[in-house]
Amino acid sequence: MTGKLLKGICIPLFILIFWGCINKVETALENKAAIKVETTLVQQSDIKEYLNFNGVTKYQKKENIRSNVTGYISRMNFTIGDRINNGQLFASVRTKEQDALKDAVKIDSSLSKFISPIIIRSNVSGIIAELNITSNDYIAEGDILASVVQPKSLVIQVNVPYEYEDYVSKGTLCEIFLQNGETILAKITGSLPTIDPVAQSQIFLIELPTSDLPENLNVQVRTIYREAIEALSVPKTALQTNELLTEYWVMKVVQDSLAIKQLVLPMLRNDSLVQIAPGSLKTHDIIITAGAYQMQDSTIVSKSN
């Protein structure tokens, strides 16, 4: 009788202890299997998608200073980069005939008026960009002595593929990114009526009359392609896709720790956000931004934030 009583007490107690151990093991395994991830909330944001083009600075107005006489440069006080004004003395020239008269002047001083240097004056105002002569150089009548650029004629030439002609036109607002990190806001001011036969791109012009930039500087030009106001958006780091780019998804966290695969349809994109078509997600859904790469559906996760 006593043996049966002990047996009746021990068996249920053993089952209770065994079941408790199993629950502890399962709980430990579940805690061990949880993958740490970073999450964020689905939000509504304004998204702008941009077009990026290459540009280069050019001076539209260049003038040449030419020689009006044949001879030798006797005086030249300018160097490349100097500013010169219209009518300013650019150089002095002596001719072979003047050199020949030097001995005659010793005999007849009245001839001295014929050996005065011939003055060449600038016919334009601007900055000397090219200088083709130095002192004592021989020049012929009509030779180009220097090229002068007008700083206020500075433009950026932007190469725009013809497929985007509907998105770029006169008056289009642009952001210009310089190599030193500076950004300039400007507008398209014109275009050239020709297409590059190889690249099939058209040159658009952005006038920068107040900018002090060197010629042939490469810049990046950005303009708005498409935009959406208060669009349902997720971080780009949350979006995943297959190898063929035919299916897109995010890992959504439900019940605080279960990550499920949620198919989505991406639309506009910028550097950090992707617009998601309505229907698959809603505002304040929790999605994984880091740690979900190649994660299986219905994975137990642990949020780190």
For the CA atoms of the chain, what is the radius of gyration? 39
* Structural domain spans, the chain: 34-47+229-303, 50-59+152-227, 62-149
Q: Where are the beta strands (DSSP E) in 29-182?
A: 35-41, 43-59, 62-66, 71-76, 83-84, 89-94, 118-121, 126-131, 138-139, 144-149, 154-161, 173-177
What class has domain 50-59+152-227? mainly beta
Tokens describing residue 30: 């579940």
Return per-residue pLDDT of the chain as tens, 305 residues. Answer: 455 544 555 555 555 554 555 455 445 444 557 899 999 999 999 999 999 999 999 998 889 999 988 999 988 889 988 999 999 999 999 887 776 666 655 665 555 556 678 889 999 889 998 999 888 899 999 999 999 998 889 999 999 999 998 899 999 999 999 999 999 999 999 999 999 999 899 999 999 988 888 889 999 999 999 999 999 999 999 999 999 999 999 999 999 899 999 999 999 998 899 999 998 899 999 999 999 998 999 999 998 75
Given the candidates 2.40.420.20, 3.40.366.10, 3.30.420.40, 3.30.470.20, the CATH classification of the domain at 34-47+229-303 is 2.40.420.20
Assign a CATH topology to domain 62-149: OB fold (Dihydrolipoamide Acetyltransferase, E2P) (2.40.50)
